[in-house]
Amino acid sequence: MAGTLVVTEADRRRYAWRHRAARATLYVIAVLSALFAAGPFVWAAITAFKQDSDLYRRRNNPFVFNETPTLDHLRLLFARTAFATFAWNTLWVGLLVVLITLVLALPAAYSLARLDRPWAGRMGIAIFFVYLVPPTLLFLSLSRLVVALGLQDSTWSLVVIYPTITVPVSVWLLLGFLKTIPKDIEEQAMVDGYSRVGAMVRVVVPLLLPGLVAVVVFAFTLTASEFIYALAFISPTSEKVISTGVPTELVRGDVFFWQSLQAAAVLVAVPIAVVFTLFLDRFVAGFTQGAVKG
């Protein structure tokens, strides 16, 4: 093809065929990955509406409703378990943690990205490494610390501890977003009479808003998924969050409330994934920018 300017009919046909084949392959892989990824959730969603007599019969086709679907198990989830309490706890813990995270991470990221200290690069890397220190390494000493603070068996313990997970990664993401905002803009604002802090609050933060929203979503998801701390610190039902409450309270001994469990999983999974899908492109932008030094 190289060097030829004349495109023959055969070339065109071959190109068209290749294009169609590539598209077909793409669709096949897309559908297969979607099925593989969502399979367990589809199965969970079907299960959630099944009657006991339908579900617990080995010969029944598990993928269809052999008997009329029922909302009983959804009702049980909300009326006879503490699911709503778990959801509420997850929500307010998440919001408070996000708030604390922003208060700690935004100035830190601004300092590292803009205030030009010689140690900024190394500090950024150090903070990122903290994100890699796993809860599994810290939960034992942190649970002693929580006891010392008098916060054992209280949801507040999570408000205090969860920012250890969200702050480092938020600093990292915010660094990336800050690099996309030209420095000239705030320098102009300072020439116009704003102080450094004034320029940051009035000029940089509004421009950073899309990135901040992405960080909020990401931090909230991290707190909602956390399991080990919530399991180690809290045992009373009324103080539990979704990720520990559902697996521990909807299983009584050997009795699994399967339909309600699956309903809970789907009810939590769908909204988070929808929000994430909306922000996916923005996260990707944050990741790339954070990794490439400006």
Partner 1 sequence: MTGPGGAPPAATRPAGPAAERERPAPTRYRRRLTDRDGALAWLFLAPAVVYILALVGVPFLLAVAFSFSDVTGGDPSFDWTGLQNFGRVFADPVFWRALRNTLVFTALSMVFIVLFGKVLANVLIADFRGRWLVRFLVLLPWTTPVALSTITWLWMLDSVFSPIDWVLRQVGLIQANMFYLGRPTLAMASVIAVHVWRLVPLAAVIMMAGLLSIPKDVQEQALVDGAGYWRRMVEITIPLTAPVIAISALFGAIFTFTDMTVVYVLTRGGPTNETQVLASWAFFRGIEGGDVGQGAAIALFLFPLLLAAAIAILRAVRRMEVS
41-100: which residues touch partner 1 (CB under 8 A)? Answer: 41, 43-44, 47, 55-56, 58, 61-63
Among 49, 83, 110, 177, binds partner 1 (CB under 8 A): 110
135 near partner 1 (CB under 8 A)? yes
CB 201, CB 268: distance < 8 Å: no
Q: Tell me the number of residues near partner 1 by CB under 8 A.
A: 112
CA 167: distance to chain centroid?
14
- Contact set for partner 1, span 172-191 (CB under 8 A): 182-184, 187-188, 190-191
Among 130, 181, 207, 213, binds partner 1 (CB under 8 A): 130
24 near partner 1 (CB under 8 A)? no
215 near partner 1 (CB under 8 A)? no
Q: Give the residue with the Cβ less far from partner 1, 168 or 211.
A: 168
Q: Give the residue with the Cβ less far from partner 1, 79 or 137.
A: 137
Among 76, 91, 181, 272, binds partner 1 (CB under 8 A): 272
Q: Give the residue with the Cβ less far from partner 1, 68 or 136.
A: 136
Q: Give the residue with the Cβ less far from partner 1, 51 or 221.
A: 221
User: Shortest gap between Cβ of 39 and partner 1 (angstroms)?
Assistant: 8
Among 71, 140, 205, 209, binds partner 1 (CB under 8 A): 140
Among 30, 71, 84, 205, binds partner 1 (CB under 8 A): 30
6 near partner 1 (CB under 8 A)? no
- Contact set for partner 1, span 191-210 (CB under 8 A): 191, 195-198
